[in-house]
Amino acid sequence: MAEESKKGAAGQDFVKEITARSVDFSRWYIDVIRKADLVDYAPVRGCMVIKPGGYAIWEKVQEGLDRRFKATGHRNAYFPLFIPESFVQLEKEHVEGFAPELPWVTEAGGEKLTERLAVRPTSETIICSMYAKWIQSYRDLPMLLNQWCNVVRWEKRTLPFLRTSEFLWQEGHTAHRTAEEAEEETIRMLRVYQDFVENDLAIPVIPGLKSDKEKFAGAVRTYSIEAMMQDGKALQAGTSHFLGQNFAVPFNIQFLDADGQLKYVWQTSWGLSTRIIGALVMVHGDDRGLVIPPRAAEIQVVIVPIAPVKERGNVLAEVGKVVAELREVARVHVDDDEEHSPGWKFNEWELKGVPVRLEIGPRDLKAGQAVLVRRDTGLKEAVPLTQLKGRVVETLADMQSSLLAKARRRLEEQTTTAGSYDEFKQVIEDRRGFVVAGWCGDAACEAKVKEETGATIRNLPLDQPADAGACLVCGGKAKHQAYFARAY
């Protein structure tokens, strides 16, 4: 890792360099999230401290998703962190899927508990216990709830944001009158995730159905949106589950329907977590640090006054006018710290990924302009102060769309259609990325791919071709077209 530091005019250290992506992508990722001040390691194994810079991105995720959830009729609630062991045991497949990751509370208040309490890995069971009390009639349906919370899954191998023992997420839990309504909800929320991730975070995704091997423990069907990182590894960015009546029956969630019959509800659950911040870093970042899409940025415009002592008053007075105008259209911050040189500040704000930087100095005042620097392209342009507000709006909009277009082009370049199993193995080893191929639906063929290549079926895209061709592995007739990849 390059550790040489640059020096400012006053002798301060500039931001130290980060490992190049081409040298070690994993090291680059750690360098960026640490030096951009997003995260720090916690004193508890496998846990992270999300610092204000990282949490600000999570707040933008919350804002974007929460607005969409409420627009589709969902309301927020909160349920307990602790789950009685008897609840966990009620759904066999669910408990088997989470058993290796469950931490247990066995003692509290200096006394042994009569029943162990699981620390929440997900909330289906505790929520179902309440739905059994709250849902009595078809008039109570649909029940559309979401909660923002933390969950704990005791991971053996961890990586900040991408896989940690405790993380933040939202989890939606809904109950419906019919299977058709629940299935519609499952796909609707998958599309909500797709809309948010693509349009707010500028990350293109593949929406599709998980194989039975990869589905959520306790679900009838699991759908996901899959993203591709710059290093050619996939990342599951969000999931939506059709639970059927797998939880309704053991938890006895019944309602009296309009026909006078007592029936079990049909359910869904869906979630997106702080791992999406890791995806944002790995999709858009470069060798100078973060690149944050404007809609996800805490600070969209940073103004760096270049103000020698004699000119400082005049420069800051003009900066004040610019700030007042720009705050009508953007989130603005002024870095008027006198401890660091302008050059140090330029490096610092580039590392933190702020979309637009404005430089204003005495010469700019005389020329009636500001210098606008765009983070993703590095393009510099002198903009008349009278046109600055409009130009900032245009630049932020163009950067948002350009980042998505760039990521789409990369996704296309990282997607290969394999004509044979040998070709598939070569692509996975040499190029990585998504490999599109036919799959017969047999779990043995799926397992063989994972065992021999380390790749898994990421999902079966919703838009399936009329003829999926032959199975990649056995050569038999394919039931599905599948996206394969190695993944985080």
Ranges in the chain, pLDDT < 50 = 1-15
What global pTM score does this model have? 0.94
Structure tokens at 403: 């980042």
25-284 CATH, one of 3.30.930.10, 1.20.1730.10, 3.40.50.2000, 3.40.50.12500: 3.30.930.10
Indicate the class that CATH gives domain 294-410.
alpha beta
pLDDT value for 10? 39
SS3 309: helix
What ranges do the domains of the chain cover? 25-284, 294-410, 415-485
Residues 103 and 96: their CA atoms lie apart, in Å, by: 14
> Which 8-state DSSP code applies to residue 36?
T
CB 127 within 8 A of CB 97: no
CB 282 within 8 A of CB 231: yes
b/e per residue 159-196 (b: at least 16 CB within 10 A): bbbbbbbbbbbbbbbbbbbeeebbbebbbebbbbbbeb
Question: In degrees, to the nearest 5, what angle opens at C-alpha 430 toward C-alphas 429 and 436?
Answer: 70
Residues 386 and 221: their CA atoms lie apart, in Å, by: 56
Indicate if 294-410 has the same CATH topology as 25-284. no
Residues 336 and 359: their CA atoms lie apart, in Å, by: 11
Burial of 255 (0-12, 13-18, 19+ CB in 10 A): buried
Q: Which CATH architecture has domain 415-485?
A: 2-Layer Sandwich (3.30)
Q: What separation in angstroms does the CA of 353 have from each of 39, 290, 333, 357, 377?
A: 15, 4, 13, 10, 12
Q: Model confidence over 195-240: pLDDT tens digits?
A: 999 999 999 999 999 999 999 999 999 999 999 999 999 999 999 9
pLDDT value for 4? 34
Q: Which residues partner with 220 through β-bridges?
A: none
> Which 8-state DSSP code applies to residue 90?
T
CB 133 within 8 A of CB 109: no
CB 371 within 8 A of CB 381: yes
